[in-house]
Structure 1
Amino acid sequence: MNPLVILIPVLVLLAGFVIFASQRRREDAGAAGYLSRETRKRDRSSRKATALQEGSTGKDVERAAQLARKGGDLVPVTEPAPPAPFVPPDAEEIGVYRRQFLNRSIIGGFILGLSGFGAAVLAFLWPQTRGGFGSKIAVGKLSDVQKAITNGNGFAYYPEGRMWITAYPSSALDKAVKTYSAPELAGMKEGVIALYQKCVHLGCRVPACLTSQWFECGCHGSQYNQVGEKKGGPAPRGLDRFAMSVANNSLTVDTGVIIQGPPIGTNTTGQEAEGPHCVTGAGGHH
């Protein structure tokens, strides 16, 4: 057989294979495209930056890569300082601080409470200096006081001093001098007497009885005549009274000085009930 008959088909097949391979290479190149010079340069810089940043955190590597793509220089990355070693607190020391805090809080509370209590006690016991009960009260001219007694049907009440002021008859002064003290007599000689409103039995406020012209306590029936001398009931003595002084025809009553009332049986004025009693069942008990 002629060898050309076999060689010609083989050459045709080889030529077809070469043509097919060339065509396929052109198609792949057209699909992928070619990288520009700038792109290939940035890619090399990125790989270089990644190599330099090895061992750094992801955020540092990303920032360095961004700077490299923008044409900036690489920022050197320093190793972070190692964290300080953890030292557990001393449990005993913590307990001491807690006990100190609680102890100081308790002591501070006691001191605060005692301070408030002490201030309240001092405020209660400290004498008043601004007028009113517990101080010297300028009642006014004697003529005005006597007018107030007359208008009150024998009794004048002064709430700022917690006191009654009544008339004291001049005819009884000889007996009064033998019974009463000088601070009381200072007003009695001018015809007036200042009496504490509180009943000496159990401390009720004693009202005036206009019909009997006595003081008659509605709590337990104690009775006193118009000048505060005990007449009946369970009271252990007469009404307490205040020190008085008269200057320039004006009466001043010192409500800070309470003088104990006269003993049972004192009756310098001899006044008996002048009408019906306001409190029944107590008259005549001495």
Structure 2
Amino acid sequence: MNSTTIITIAIAVLAVLGLGVVLTATRRSDMSGVGVLSRETRKRDRDAKKSSRNARRDVEAEAVAARSTAVAVMPPAEIEPWVAPDPEMIGESRRAFLNRATGTLLSASLGGFAAALIAFLWKSADGGFGSKINAGKLEDVIGQIRANKGFLYLPEARSWVTEYPKEAISKADAIYRSQGPVFAGMSQGIVALYQKCPHLGCRVPECKTSQWFECPCHGSQYNRVGEKKGGPAPRGMDRFGCLPVDLLDLTCFGV
């Protein structure tokens, strides 16, 4: 590199530096003028603030001067004597109304409960569960049992009716003779069994496979005459008495 080239580069660098110094000085000059108020403007603002303060003071002084220091004296109020309200005008008091309403609702509730309880316990006049039920002729009932493969369900009695084996009547005599209506039905070859399981009251259906009664809830098993054969039940199925209406013809029986 010769001396001419070095001088040229030095001149160019100095020119760039000089341009930068000029631009920086110009920008500072512009920034120094931003936000600076003139003396007249600042004086005018001070005068306006002073005038505003004076105006507020004048308003407050006028308000204080307008206030009165005198205490207002109210005329004495006339006291009226208390007069008890007329019962005919106000009607019943709230307490009396609530007492009567409570008594009425309680009486109505107890009356409804008593009526439902009596209706449940009282035997129906026209027949139904809990009363004597005419199931038909004895021969027809036995025929229906055999047609249904050993089981006959009477919905109005909520009971199953099955045949009682004649060869077991002598054994039943020793066990069920004290239960007159039950043994009377057994001696005629039938037995009526309540549909509910003695364990927890589930409805016990017949089992087509085992030809027994089997509870679907907990698996208690009973033979066709209601004797317990397995499961958690405490005893066999409950029995209803079956009595012939006519002891000579044995035409029908009641459950």
TM-score (normalizing by structure 2): 0.61
Matched, 1:119 2:120: no
Q: 2:100 maps to what in 1? A: 104
Q: 1:153 maps to what in 2? A: 149
Report the alpha carbon displacement of residue 95 of structure 1 after superposing the two structures with TM.
Answer: 7.3
Report the alpha carbon displacement of residue 142 of structure 1 after superposing the two structures with TM.
Answer: 1.3
Q: 1:179 maps to what in 2? A: 175
Identify the match of residue 196 of structure 1 among 194, 197, 201. Answer: 194
Distance 1:202 1:251 in 2: 32
* TM-superposition CA deviations, 1:182-206 (whole Å, max 9, x none): 2111111111111111111111111
Q: 1:243 maps to what in 2? A: 241
Report the alpha carbon displacement of residue 229 of structure 1 after superposing the two structures with TM.
Answer: 0.5
Unmatched segments (≥5 aa) in structure 2: 1-81
* TM-superposition CA deviations, 1:45-76 (whole Å, max 9, x none): xxxxxxxxxxxxxxxxxxxxxxxxxxxxxxxx
Q: 1:271 maps to what in 2? A: none
Distance 2:180 2:117 in 1: 33
Report the alpha carbon displacement of residue 249 of structure 1 after superposing the two structures with TM.
Answer: 1.8
Q: 2:160 maps to what in 1? A: 164
Look up the SS of the partner of 2:169 in the other structure.
helix
Identify the match of residue 226 of structure 1 among 224, 227, 230. Answer: 224
Unmatched segments (≥5 aa) in structure 1: 1-87, 255-286
Letter of the 1:145 counterpart: V
Runs of 4+ in structure 1 off by over 6 angstroms are none
Letter of the 2:171 counterpart: K
Q: Is the 8 A contact 1:138 1:252 kept in 2?
A: yes
How many residues align? The count is 168
Q: Is the 8 A contact 1:194 1:253 kept in 2?
A: no
TM-score (normalizing by structure 1): 0.54
Distance 1:132 1:230 in 2: 27
Q: 1:128 maps to what in 2? A: 124
Matched, 1:91 2:85: yes
Question: Over aligned residue pairs, what C-alpha RMSD do you find?
Answer: 2.3
> What percent identity do the matched residue pairs reach?
53
Q: 1:253 maps to what in 2? A: 254
